[in-house]
Structures are given as structure tokens and as C-alpha cells.
């Protein structure tokens, strides 16, 4: 295969065999990896993490008599409600019922039964229990994870291939000759008679042995393995059936900001779950119109959209409870000390992530109506999520609904939306072009030095912002396609996502040789 060395994103390929009979394992099979890893390293060693979690080594007689799925706790969980089941990391659980994000289970340690968050456990005797294995992660997100601030050169992960079912690859964070962080990818290949290899010069009986070897020496890889990629703790699923909640269940902790229509707070729900709360000024919108939109908004669930958890509408001000994003808005982050240090590849990556979220909204035949960096939030690991999608439709403030009013985001809005109120996914695409300007200029206000009125008149006459300083021509070309006068001439978000995803990688191969 060819060679790919992308600074943004990449993916994986390879294969796994059953450790007992050395037959290829289908994607729907679990992989018996009881012998696939080495012993757990002590603090001074530089060998890989243990292949088995605490309590995973031996199955007691009672467990052997159990039928059905056995899961292992990857994270500890403290029971919050009477019907919850708390458990410790490494505890073994018999899964009794699987329903959505909450499963009913029985602890094989305490014999207690209750509901558990399904994303806190993994099926026993599969690679999902390994801290170096990342399940259901795309090629792009694998690289985003490795390039997150918590990781360093030598961080690595194993993941499933997107393109080759039942196959696996290794991704390693490296530093190139220019001192720039990069991620390199190695296909894990299978031997016909059993075993695995990256380089045909050396083969291994299982993936755990392979990892152990590459901790000791690089042996053809870009560098030795240092530690598994940092895996952010899974977010506890929202409470079952908690939609319209009481104001008393929310404890406001820290005011994060204030906007035209209300405030944003970091808060705790039931004193346990950290959330973000947007409070809406009385009169901003009717509770009935908001609930109609919110019921639609909560059905939109994607990794690039801020999750809507619950609402408070019985008493004003209306509360909107969402997942908490530690780095705040993308606009504020770009202006911060940390944001100013972000290099062009990451700026392009921010753009690609937002395009991915908008491609989902596009696929669902929804419209954002107010797409700008102020309405995109950033996580601790620098992942972007789109917020406030659809809210603009139900705002009743005269200074907003008049469109020429002081609160209306003229500089981000497509001409047909300003002139005729024609909001479509194509008007969102116009806004996305302006958002790209914000990103590449680290949060500068679009159309610098121009009033809203001047912008409306100039754009109508065909004016478009010039290429910003230090903006690649290829990125500016994307902006100008977003600003086509005819909405039907603007591209789809699905197309723009593919262009941005491949911004640095289109001419390179997939894997290291």
C-alpha cells in the first residue's frame, strides 16, 4: 500500500484471528483474546498495559454456569437512583435486558440487580475491554483523539477498519522532521496459518504480543509505543424519561456567559451530572412554540451536535439543559491564549467537524438558521459540536424577527433569508462560508469596518469578502462557493465535509509501508 502521513485525520485496516483455531474472525464475532496481552507493567517499566482488567483473569464456578452476555465494567459507577446498580471498575456483570442506553444487569460480585449505563461496560473476552482498543471510531476521529492535548508522541491505539470488515490497524502519534505532530497508520495483517504482522520480517501469535514487542523496540514503526491513547471517560447517559424536569433539580454553579436572549451556566442536575443550562429571557419565545421545536431537536443525535437533555418550561425563564463543553464557544476559544496557538491543520479540522455536523442536519432535512462560531462549542479534547440548531425559528423578539433589527445576525445570513425570509440548508451553507472566515481569522468579526446596512447593500451588488491573510487559496475557494448568489449553486454539506476531511491527505496514500 501507499504511504499516508496526515496531520489531521486517518484510519486503520488489518485482521484478527481466533486465538484457539486461527480461523479468520467475522465482524459479528467476538475475539477470544485471553492470551493476547502481556502482564501489567509496573510504574517503572515501559511495557504495555495488562491485557486483562482486574477480576477478569479467572471466572468462578457460578459465572461459568451463567448463560447470556457477561460484561466487564470499564469505568466505576455510583448508583444515583434506587433502581440503579453501582459497580467498581473490573467488576463482572450479567446482562439481563438491553434497552437503549440503560441495561438491566446483575453483579456477579454483589449479586445485586439494577440498571447500568451501557457505555460504562464492555463484553467480556473481547478487545473492547482493552484500554488501547477504540471501538466504533472513525478514521478521522482516531487521529483527532491521538492529537488531543492529553496525548504525546508514542501514544497509540488499535481500532477497527472502516473499509475492511473484521480487520484492524494501529495508529501512532509521531513528530515529523519539521517538529509537527502527525499520526501514522499501520495495517495489521493476518497470516494464513495464524498470527499477525505489520512487517513480514516479524510475526506474532496475537495482537497483545505485537503491542508488547513494539513497546520494547520500534522495529520498523515510526517510534516505540509509549502509552495507549487517552480515552475520555464515557458520559453517563441521561436519566431515563427525564425530559420536562423541575427547576429545583438544577443547581447553578458558574455563569459562563450572557447573550442577547439569556445566560449560559455550568450546573449540576440532581447534584451528580454536570450540564450546561441556557436560560431564556422572559418573552424571548413562547413555551408552546419552544416545546414543539425542542421535541424535534431532541431527536437529532450525532457526535457533532450538542446533546439536548431536558427542558424547564413550566416557570419562566425557560431552561434548556444540554451536555457541558469545557472549552466554551468556538468563538471564545479562538480568541483565547490556547486558541491563538492552534495551527492551520487544526483550524481546517474544526471546519471539517462542523461540516460533518451540518451534513447530518442536512440529511435529516433540518435547518440551523443561525450557524456561526458563537453557536459551536468545543470540548476539552478540542472536538467541536454544533449548538442552538433550530432555536432561531421560535424567537419572538422584535429586534430579531424584523431581520433588519439590531439582534439579527446580518453578516452571517444569506441574502435570500434577509430579503424574503427564505431559510434553507442552502442559506446555512452561506453562513458556513462566513464561519470559515471566523475560524481562519481566529474569531475576527466578518466584513470588518462595515455596518450591517453596508453589508446588505454591498453583498446584494455582488461584493464578497476578500481572501483573509494566511488563508490557503483552496479554503478561500470553498468560501466563495458558499457565497454563490443562487442558493442552488451552493454545494452540499456532505460534499464540503469530504473536501475538508481530505484537505491535506488527498494526494497521499493510506498507510505506512
Q: Which residues are catalytic?
A: 370
Between the alpha carbon of residue 143 and those of residues 158, 310, 347, 461, the distances in Å are: 12, 32, 15, 43
Report helix, strand or coil for 147: coil
Paired sense of beta strands 181-187 and 70-73, if any: unpaired
C-alpha cell at 157: 491505539
Q: Do 292 and 220 meet the contact criterion of CB atoms below 8 Å apart?
A: no
State the pairing for strand pair 384-386/181-187.
Answer: unpaired
- Residue 5 is labelled as binding a ligand: no
* Residue 317, preceding peptide bond in cis (omega within 30° of 0): yes
End-to-end CA distance of the chain: 6
Length of the chain: 513
SS3 content of the chain, % helix, strand, coil (to 5): 25, 20, 50
Report the interhelical angle of 473-482 vs 425-440 (nearest 10°): 150
Residues in Cβ contact with 64 at an 8 Å cutoff, skipping those fewer than 6 apart: none
- Alpha-carbon gap, residue 481 to 152, rounded angstroms: 37
Residue 308's alpha-carbon distances to 238, 256, 305, 322, 474, in angstroms, are 10, 18, 9, 5, 35
Could you tell me the sign of the dihedral formed by the alpha carbons of 223, 227, 230, 231, in that order? positive
**CA–CA dist 491, 450 (Å, integer):** 27
- Helices and strands (DSSP H and E) totals, the chain: 13, 20
For the annotated binding site for ATP, the residues are 278
Q: Name the binding residues.
A: 278
Amino acid at each position: 500500500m501507499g504511504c499516508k502521513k496526515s496531520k489531521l485525520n486517518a484510519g486503520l485496516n488489518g485482521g484478527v484471528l481466533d486465538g484457539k483455531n486461527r480461523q479468520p474472525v467475522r465482524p459479528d464475532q467476538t475475539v477470544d483474546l485471553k492470551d493476547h496481552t502481556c502482564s501489567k507493567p509496573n510504574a517503572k517499566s515501559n511495557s504495555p498495559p495488562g491485557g486483562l482488567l482486574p477480576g477478569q483473569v479467572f471466572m468462578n464456578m457460578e459465572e461459568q454456569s451463567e448463560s447470556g452476555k457477561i460484561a466487564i465494567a470499564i469505568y466505576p459507577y455510583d448508583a444515583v437512583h434506587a433502581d440503579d446498580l453501582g459497580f467498581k471498575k473490573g467488576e463482572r456483570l450479567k446482562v439481563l435486558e438491553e434497552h437503549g442506553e440503560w441495561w438491566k444487569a446483575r453483579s456477579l460480585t454483589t449479586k445485586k440487580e439494577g440498571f447500568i449505563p451501557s457505555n460504562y461496560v464492555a463484553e467480556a473476552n473481547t478487545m473492547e475491554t482493552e484500554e488501547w482498543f477504540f471501538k466504533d471510531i472513525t478514521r478521522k476521529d482516531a487521529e483527532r483523539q491521538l492529537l488531543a492535548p492529553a496525548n504525546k508522541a508514542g501514544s497509540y491505539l488499535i481500532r477497527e477498519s472502516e473499509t475492511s470488515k473484521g480487520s484492524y490497524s494501529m495508529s501512532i502519534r509521531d513528530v515529523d522532521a519539521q517538529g509537527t505532530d502527525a499520526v501514522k497508520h499501520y495495517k495489521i495483517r493476518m497470516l494464513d496459518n495464524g498470527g499477525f504482522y505489520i512487517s513480514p520480517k516479524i510475526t506474532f501469535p496475537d495482537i497483545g504480543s505485537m503491542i508488547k514487542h513494539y513497546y520494547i523496540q520500534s522495529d520498523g514503526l515510526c517510534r516505540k509505543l509509549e502509552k495507549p491513547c487517552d480515552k475520555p471517560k464515557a458520559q453517563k447517559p441521561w436519566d431515563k424519561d427525564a425530559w420536562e424536569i423541575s427547576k429545583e433539580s438544577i443547581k447553578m454553579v458558574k455563569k459562563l456567559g450572557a447573550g442577547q436572549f439569556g445566560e449560559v451556566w455550568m450546573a449540576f442536575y440532581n447534584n451528580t451530572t454536570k450540564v450546561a443550562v441556557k436560560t431564556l429571557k422572559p418573552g424571548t419565545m413562547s413555551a408552546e412554540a419552544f416545546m414543539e421545536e425542542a421535541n424535534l431537536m431532541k431527536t437529532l443525535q450525532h457526535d457533532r451536535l450538542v446533546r439536548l437533555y431536558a427542558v424547564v418550561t413550566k416557570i419562566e425563564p425557560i431552561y434548556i439543559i444540554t451536555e457541558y463543553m469545557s472549552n466554551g464557544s468556538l468563538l471564545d476559544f479562538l480568541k483565547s491564549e490556547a486558541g491563538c496557538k492552534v495551527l492551520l491543520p487544526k483550524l481546517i479540522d474544526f471546519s471539517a467537524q462542523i461540516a460533518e455536523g451540518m451534513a447530518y442536519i442536512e440529511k435529516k432535512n433540518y435547518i440551523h438558521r443561525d450557524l456561526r462560531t458563537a453557536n459551536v462549542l468545543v470540548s476539552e479534547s478540542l472536538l467541536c459540536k454544533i449548538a442552538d440548531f433550530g432555536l432561531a425559528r421560535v424567537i419572538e423578539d422584535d429586534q430579531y424577527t424584523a431581520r433588519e433589527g439590531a439582534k439579527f445576525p446580518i453578516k452571517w445570513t444569506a441574502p435570500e433569508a434577509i430579503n424574503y425570509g427564505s431559510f434553507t440548508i442552502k442559506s446555512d451553507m452561506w453562513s458556513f462560508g462566513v464561519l470559515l472566515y471566523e475560524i481562519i481569522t481566529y474569531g475576527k468579526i466578518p466584513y470588518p469596518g462595515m455596518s450591517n446596512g453596508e453589508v446588505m447593500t454591498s453583498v446584494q451588488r455582488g461584493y464578497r469578502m476578500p481572501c483573509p491573510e494566511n488563508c490557503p487559496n483552496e479554503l478561500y475557494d470553498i468560501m466563495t462557493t458558499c457565497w454563490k448568489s443562487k442558493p442552488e449553486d451552493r454545494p452540499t454539506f456532505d460534499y464540503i465535509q469530504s473536501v475538508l476531511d481530505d484537505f491535506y491527505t488527498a494526494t497521499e496514500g493510506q498507510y505506512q509501508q
